[in-house]
Homo-oligomer: A and B are copies of this chain.
């Protein structure tokens, strides 16, 4: 009797199925400290209890991407162990902050299935929910992946392609209870620019770069209990390289974006995301952002920016995303579309 988890194959999913993912995780100041060691994280609201309190919160929450990585990591054994590609994200929302001491778990509902024409694989859409120890929704997002079939001869399921919003509507963004930026300290936050200073279409070069080491991306990926072999085992790929978890690139790019977007404090919406090209140790990762949209919010002093965050490796140029063929340029690693909260 095989005791190890073989993962699910395409024919193991059906629309409406709800999968409870294993291994709940309690997060603490230790995970926060590691996040600051692994990424150049400096957003003041997550760095300082005192600063967060000046913004109406009881203390500094865990970084929003810690919540994302933790929730995501739990889905890997059930959703992407036999995945060929991680295709996209949509309709992501952060519903409430995660505090030190909270315990997160995840569940995913299958909301779409489409077998590929080659009959060997298919696309699975899931809506994943992260819940805390009180069962409260912490975040949710839709993700779709291409998954191998166990048996190419298995019949194709009925095709269901979910209708997904291009982006989260500003009115649907959930603002943390109590958030108030009217007494926001721009000096302590490290950047004088506020909501009004950013124009739709504006491109920001975040300037700094980080050359990635094997030990770092493995520490990060393990921290989220993401155990996909390809990130850890140099013997899996024929070229002997370890593929870096796409979420590591997300956090690198987001934290590099401090330099130019230090006041885009909280991530509250994930509109779309693509891991355009693989990242490997030795790559020097840089980032640029483009302002896609702006919105007001109901919270005092709080505005929202919709931002495209692009990670590139050396050679990538701010503003250059796709070639004439419409495909991502080879130096582009990540194209992420998200909503952040910023003082007005």
Q: CB within 8 Å of B: which residues of A?
A: 1, 3-5, 20, 22-26, 28-34, 36-42, 44, 47-51, 60, 77, 100-101, 103, 105, 133, 187-191, 193, 197, 204-211, 213-216, 218-220, 222-223, 225, 227, 229, 232-236, 242, 259-262, 284, 314
- The distance from the CB of A111 to the nearest CB of chain B, in whole angstroms, is 21
* Closest chain B residue to A186, Cβ basis: B22
* Closest chain B residue to A44, Cβ basis: B23
Query: B23 touching A189 by the CB < 8 A rule?
Result: yes
Q: A211-B242, A229-B209, A235-B314 in contact; A28/B32 too (CB < 8 A)?
A: yes
Q: A26-B49, A47-B25, A233-B211 in contact; A204/B4 too (CB < 8 A)?
A: yes
* Closest chain B residue to A259, Cβ basis: B4
Query: B188 touching A24 by the CB < 8 A rule?
Result: yes
Query: B191 touching A235 by the CB < 8 A rule?
Result: no
- The distance from the CB of A79 to the nearest CB of chain B, in whole angstroms, is 14
- The distance from the CB of A277 to the nearest CB of chain B, in whole angstroms, is 18
Of A105, A193, A215, which is in contact with the most chain B CB atoms at under 10 Å from its CB? Answer: A215
Task: Give the 9 A-B CB pairs with smallest separation, nearest first.
Answer: A30-B33, A22-B190, A28-B29, A215-B215, A24-B48, A211-B234, A209-B233, A30-B30, A3-B260
- Name the B residues within 8 Å of A50 (CB-CB): 24, 26, 103, 133
Complex CA distance for A267 and B242, rounded to whole angstroms? 32
- Name the B residues within 8 Å of A242 (CB-CB): 211
- Name the B residues within 8 Å of A100 (CB-CB): 29
Complex CA distance for A259 and B232, rounded to whole angstroms? 15
Partner of A222, one of B5, B37, B260: B37
Q: A4-B259, A103-B48 in contact; A28/B30 too (CB < 8 A)?
A: yes
- The distance from the CB of A18 to the nearest CB of chain B, in whole angstroms, is 11
Additional A-B contact list (10), CB under 8 Å, known A105-B188, A208-B227: A3-B197, A20-B187, A20-B188, A25-B47, A26-B48, A28-B29, A28-B33, A31-B36, A48-B103, A50-B103
Complex CA distance for A188 and B37, rounded to whole angstroms? 29
Complex CA distance for A47 and B213, rounded to whole angstroms? 26
Complex CA distance for A220 and B41, rounded to whole angstroms? 13
Query: A232 touching B216 by the CB < 8 A rule?
Result: no
The 18 listed contacts between A and B (C-beta, < 8 Å) are A4-B207, A5-B191, A22-B44, A22-B188, A22-B191, A23-B48, A25-B48, A26-B49, A29-B30, A30-B32, A48-B103, A48-B105, A49-B133, A208-B229, A208-B233, A213-B214, A233-B284, A235-B314
- The distance from the CB of A213 to the nearest CB of chain B, in whole angstroms, is 4
Of A26, A34, A60, A213, which is in contact with the most chain B CB atoms at under 10 Å from its CB? Answer: A26
- The distance from the CB of A265 to the nearest CB of chain B, in whole angstroms, is 12
Query: B204 touching A284 by the CB < 8 A rule?
Result: no
